[in-house]
Amino acid sequence: MTSSDPAVRFSTLIQQFFMDRLIEQRNVSPRTVASYRDTFRLLFSFAENDLNKPPHKLRLVDFSAELILAFLKYLETTRHNAIRSRNARLAAIRSFAHYAALQEPSALPGLQRVLAIPMKRFDRPMVGFLTREEMQCILAAPAANSWCSQRDQVMLATLYNTGARVSE
């Protein structure tokens, strides 16, 4: 399914990526779709300023590694996004690049350069924990004068003594 107008094909690819790939095939959450949508809105706005092309005139060849690198730099320097946000935007762009490479093999060399852009490393904060005294205060918080309080005390003690996670 190709079109003679590359700009039309690029817009069709974007639409198919959201409708077919994300929603139909991968069944991603509405939050993921919204995050990817926001990424492309930012990218199109950036490309309009950087390339002097409105979004409806963008072509797949405009979706280059140079544009993406400039966009990522813009996110960090001008918009002051954290590295995690930058990496989330790059993940959305990479996902589209994978899809576009499958749909338009002729664009593979340029898309491979986009896919080669690495995620930035960042320090993960250490997981905090409570001191023994803080935990003893929490365990002592429920008054032992009712059945519900005794139940809560036993549940808290069990969670603490087993090292249970929040999800458990």
Q: What pLDDT digit, counting tens, does each position of 69-98 carry?
A: 999 999 999 999 999 999 999 999 999 999
Domain count within the chain: 2
Do 146 and 100 share a domain, yes or no? no
Q: Of 45, 21, 44, nearest to 33 (Cα)?
A: 21
Do 61 and 99 share a domain, yes or no? yes
Position 1 scores a pLDDT of 44
C-beta of residue 9 within 8 angstroms of C-beta of residue 3: yes
DSSP H helices in 52-141: 65-77, 83-103, 108-115, 132-140
Do 72 and 153 share a domain, yes or no? no
C-beta of residue 36 within 8 angstroms of C-beta of residue 22: yes
Do 105 and 140 share a domain, yes or no? no
Residues 6+ apart with CB under 8 A from 139: 153, 156, 157, 160
Residue 32 located in a structural domain:
yes
Domain coverage including residue 107? 6-115
Do 105 and 154 share a domain, yes or no? no
Residue 111 located in a structural domain:
yes
Residue 120 located in a structural domain:
no
Residue 124 located in a structural domain:
no
Residue 121 located in a structural domain:
no
Do 93 and 156 share a domain, yes or no? no
C-beta of residue 58 within 8 angstroms of C-beta of residue 10: yes
Do 110 and 141 share a domain, yes or no? no
Do 50 and 105 share a domain, yes or no? yes
Q: What's the whole-model pTM score?
A: 0.70
Do 82 and 140 share a domain, yes or no? no
Position 2 scores a pLDDT of 45
Residue 38 located in a structural domain:
yes
Residue 168 located in a structural domain:
no
Q: State yes or no: pLDDT of 111 exceeds 60.
A: yes
Q: Of 83, 77, 92, 68, nearest to 120 (Cα)?
A: 83
Residue 139 located in a structural domain:
yes
Q: How far apart are CA 38 and CA 111, in angstroms?
A: 21
Among 3-7, 24-28, 109-113, which stretch is predicted with the lowest mean pLDDT? 3-7
